[in-house]
Structure 1
Amino acid sequence: MSHPSVSRIGRTLTTLTAVATCSAGLLSTTATADPARGAQPPSTYPNLAPTPPMGWNNWSYYQCDGLNEKVVLDNARALVRSGLAHKGYRTVTVDDCWMTKERSADGELVIDRTKFPHGMAYIGEQLHKMGLKFGIYEDVGKLTCGKNPGSYGHFAQDAKLYAAWKVDYLKADGCNVPVPQGQSKEQVFHDLYTQQSQALRATGRRIVFSISAPAYFQFSGDEVWHRVITWSGQLGNLWRGGADIALQQSSAAEKWKSISGNFRYNANLADLQRPGRWNDPDFLLVGDSGLPRAEMQSQMSLWAMMAAPLISSTDLGKLSPEALKILGNREVIAVDQDPLGVQGRIVQQDGDAAVLAKPLHNGDRAIALFNGGSTARTLSVTAGAADLPKAKSYRLHDLVTGRSTRTTRTIVARDVPPHATVLYRVKAERQGVSSH
């Protein structure tokens, strides 16, 4: 849970590509100067998320007031019962407000026993019995975003506690970070997230590390923002890039604006991601949330194209059959979880419409044609613009409808409804030398 301002939308591809390309070169390094002290940071964090994490988090739907032991375990059971866990949704994360407002006399975090009467080790035990993984939330600042104790000054102590509870995933936010005089905000954030990263490694437990630092630099200029993403990719496994996704109580229009906005900033960060290190545009709102089918399907398809974490935040026990079908579409999930680990790129834009292309490990391509506008449109892209290999024909398999067609040159999606996305898996057939 982070609280930066609303994300920038409609930035030009030319500017983004130039800056991102410059920043992307930094990703290949495993040691750069520490902005805080000029020291060398620790070696790159272990690659504990070879594919984008999938699971559930309570925040967007329940926030602090709705969080309790029953909510967490009921949603975990729903993951298993619905078959979503079998399809990859396995990490269940307890977000902010699981602890009391004060640490104990010896500095330990204190579980809110009103909300979690059996404690956090019990939550982890129950999740593991279901074949799931246990995620938890904290903050590198003095206080969390919900004004609970942060890990500032307690990184090693808290990390040992997570390991004792058999935590598998830590989401570390960046609210309430003090910036001492003479230091820059980036210096301080880098130092604190380095401490958290080192503390997790020192436990010896394999804890996937989700970093929220970039979300607090989204409006600091692209050079700084991309640099923060770069060192986040050295210290952890995934990172929040910008604005939080809308909350459950938001209107349907606000939710769509949030989904569209997070897509548009994250889609242009492809050069800053690499296999095993993931840009995170925040939670999936697919569910009984007031969103029509086209918008739910668009979020799922676009997140899959971006190799984004697929983390649901809704009441899974009340999923409509339509929402369950969208979340559980194996072929769309396969695009997201593709072993090649490449984030799809925008290859064509026209007003509110965008076309993304993503290479897949078996030589296929995923092509998404997204109509972000308010009226139906026919969208198309040539094989050349989509960077398809030369062939005499291409088989287009619609991953939502299941229908297949063939084309020799141009990929077309006719009469795409407003806010809808057509997602094809494209296979080159009868290799030849036809031009594009």
Structure 2
Amino acid sequence: MAGILTVLGVLAVLLATSSGVFALENGVARLPVLGYNTWNAYACNIDENLILETASLMQSLGLQDVGYTHVNLDDCWAEKNRTADGLLAPNAERFPSGFNNLTSQLHDMGFQAGIYEDSGWLTCAGYPGSYSNELLDATTFQNWGFDYLKYDNCYIPFDDVIRQGTYGKYQRMADAIAQLASSSGESPLIYSLCEWGWSQVWIWGTTVGNSWRVDGDIADNWDALANIINLATFITGYTNYYGRNDLDILEVGNGNMTYDENKSHFTAWALLKSPLLIGTNLSAASPDIIGILKNTEILAINQDPTVGMSISPFRWGINPDWTSNSSYPAQYWSGPSENGTVFMLLNTLDEPANMFFNLTESPWIRAGRQYSVRDLWTHTDNGTAVRNFTAAAVPPHGVVALLLQDAGDEPAGILPLCAVYYQCSSENGTSVDGS
């Protein structure tokens, strides 16, 4: 088990209460991007046929219908050298028709198109990077018809060349994108920062990009998911409209997780308002996996047009509150939505568990009220909760996702007079314990 670190209360409060109002409100990516990214399933084995086949699968499987509208290339799309004019060029063997043809076909199918580049000399796979060519490359991407840019952080120039930190290196492309949008009159590229120094990205990512990675590359196992959720726990306040924590590509269905772990993975990513970019080989995905990805009630929270903030923990559960534990992250989460209060109960144990909470532990619940309970996975209305709720026998590494809606005053005559005893009293000062 990973080491346990108790986070300082002052820092915790600061992170929890940050409003995220400094997001890059540039007219694009007001809500998290939903779509597909090629890296996790195919790495460098990509070509134009694969991209178009994937787009067709997204249509035939109903993924486009529920909101997955981006198809994004990752690394390895380029020739190893720039042209004589200094331009990037698509690999002629794998993209013989060129990118204008590819993006036009994707647009005609109703998709937006994304591309990958790097802020250093080279991409992580060794193809030309964009350092010192930011405006030229942003213009090239726009001319090719791309709508989205994932921007990585490999092959960083020496200090005496760059003479700035990570912020400055990423700001160069942000400035180029803004300048291009101003001069062309076209919408700016969606700008996704793939820089995983979470201790700094949440500070400045909100003013540079539309999303920012919180950790290194994801792996398709529970330990990796638990670690990412744990890191995201302390920075939920930095997600809101136009800017959000990116928990990385969805590994749903890639082989090393149980069905319940896949559900937990998708639920956490969606309710924390991360971009949802599928990284699965869709041609091999089972109906159960497609069903997870198509849960419209969960997707509706991710794409909430009224509330942009993420869910946040209200109780850690296994560990004391504000404890960082990469194996056992916080278990009890909630947040507002346009239709009620959302709850995520995450069983981080290796065995089934009953999960109990008092409703008013969530800051979004009112005392003295009862709440209708909607299960976002069983798609059933499960009666009314009064004061507390118990989810019985939550599977190992499983999840419960609920939507609670105010259903009026709680029934009269319920004792004790306060669900939470501490400092509860009548007008004359009589406490609930009679003292």
Q: TM-score range by the shorter chain?
A: 0.7 to 0.9
Matched ranges for 1:116-131 at <5 A: 116-131=95-110
Structure 1 unpaired stretches of 5+: 1-7, 31-43, 247-251
2:215 corresponds to: 242
Preserved CA contact (<8 Å) 2:245 2:274: yes
Q: Determine if the alignment matches structure 1 residue 79 to structure 2 residue 58.
A: yes
1:386 aligns with 2:362: yes
User: 1:162, CA displacement in angstroms?
Assistant: 1.1
Matched to 1:57, the amino acid is N
Q: Would you say 1:268 and 2:234 are equivalent positions?
A: yes
Q: Does the Cα contact within 8 Å between 2:22 and 2:206 map onto a contact in 1?
A: no
Per-residue deviation at 1:418? 0.9
Give, in whole Å, the separation in 2 of the partners of 1:333 and 1:187.
32
The alpha carbon displacement at 1:13 in A equals 5.2
| 2:316 counterpart SS class | strand
Range with greater deviation from structure 2 (283-292 or 81-90): 283-292
Aligned identity (percent) is 28
Displacement of 1:374 in angstroms is: 0.9
Is contact 1:288–1:320 with CA below 8 Å preserved after alignment? no
2:403 maps to 1:397: no
What is the CA–CA distance in structure 1 between the aligned matches of 2:55 and 2:16, rounded to whole Å? Answer: 40
Equivalent in the alignment of 2:338: 361
Runs of 4+ in 1 over 6 A off after TM superposition: none
Does the residue aligned with 2:371 lie in a helix, a strand or coil? strand
Relative to structure 1, is the Cα distance of residues 112 and 154 closer, same or farther in structure 2, using a 3 angstrom cutoff?
Answer: same
Which secondary structure does the structure 2 equivalent of 1:145 belong to?
coil
Q: In the alignment, what sits opposite 1:60?
A: 40
Aligned to 1:41: none
Q: Give the direction of change, closer, same or farther, for the CA distance of 1:312–1:155 in structure 2 (3 Å limit).
A: same
Which deviations, in whole Å up to 9, do the C-alpha atoms of 1:347-381 show, x marking residues without a partner? 1112235111010023x011010011111111111
The C-alpha deviation readout for 1:219-274, integer Å capped at 9, x for no partner, is: xxx4xx1xx3233222221111221112xxxxx5xx22222211211132112222
Partner Cα distance (1:10, 1:284) in 2: 26
CA contact (8 A) 1:381 1:412 kept: yes
TM-aligned CA deviation for residue 199 of structure 1: 4.5
The answer as to whether partners of 1:280 and 1:308 remain within 8 angstroms in 2 is: yes
Residue number among 154, 165, 168 corresponding to 1:185 in the alignment:
165
Q: What do you get for the CA RMSD once the two structures are aligned?
A: 2.3
Contact 1:267–1:344 (CA under 8 A) maintained in structure 2: no
Equivalent residue for 2:81, pick from 95, 98, 102: 102
CA contact (8 A) 1:87 1:328 kept: yes
1:207 CA drift (Å): 3.8
The answer to whether the 8 A contact 1:381-1:411 is kept is yes
C-alpha contact 1:288 1:323 (8 A) present in aligned 2: no
Change (3 A) 1:327 1:84: same
Determine the C-alpha separation between the residues in 1 that align with 2:170 and 2:57: 38
Deviation at 1:204, TM superposition (A): 3.3
Which deviates further from its counterpart, 282-291 or 306-315? 282-291
What is the distance in 2 between the residues matched to 1:85 and 1:20? 35
More displaced, 261-270 or 296-305? 261-270
Equivalent pair of 2:357/2:389 in contact (CA under 8 Å)? yes
Counterpart of 1:258 in structure 2 is 224
Which runs of structure 2 are paired with 1:322-341 in the superposition (5 Å)? 322-339=288-305, 340-341=307-308
Structure 2 letter corresponding to 1:212: L
Deviation at 1:75, TM superposition (A): 1.0
- Aligned position for 2:31: 51
Conserved in 1, the CA contact under 8 Å of 2:119 and 2:170?
no
Residue 317 of structure 2 corresponds to: 350
Cα deviation code 1:118-142 (max 9, x no counterpart): 1111110111111111011111111
* Distance in 2 between residues matched to 1:426 and 1:54, nearest whole Å: 25
Query: In structure 2, what is the Cα distance between the partners aligned to 1:289 and 1:70?
Result: 24
1:138 aligned partner:
117
| Structure 2 gap segments, 5+ residues each | 319-327, 420-435
Whether the aligned pair in 2 keeps the contact of 1:169 and 1:209 (CA below 8 Å) is yes
Q: Relative to structure 1, is the Cα distance of residues 88 and 173 closer, same or farther in structure 2, using a 3 angstrom cutoff?
A: same
Corresponding residue for residue 415 of structure 1: 393
1:230 aligns with 2:206: no
Match runs of 1:264-343 below 5 Å: 264-339=230-305, 340-343=307-310
Residues 244/9 of structure 1: CA separation in 2 closer, same or farther (3 Å cut): farther
User: Is the alpha carbon distance of 1:343 and 1:129 closer, same or farther for their aligned partners in structure 2, counting shifts above 3 Å?
Assistant: same
Cα deviation, residue 153, structure 1: 1.3
What secondary structure sits across from 1:172 in the alignment? Answer: strand
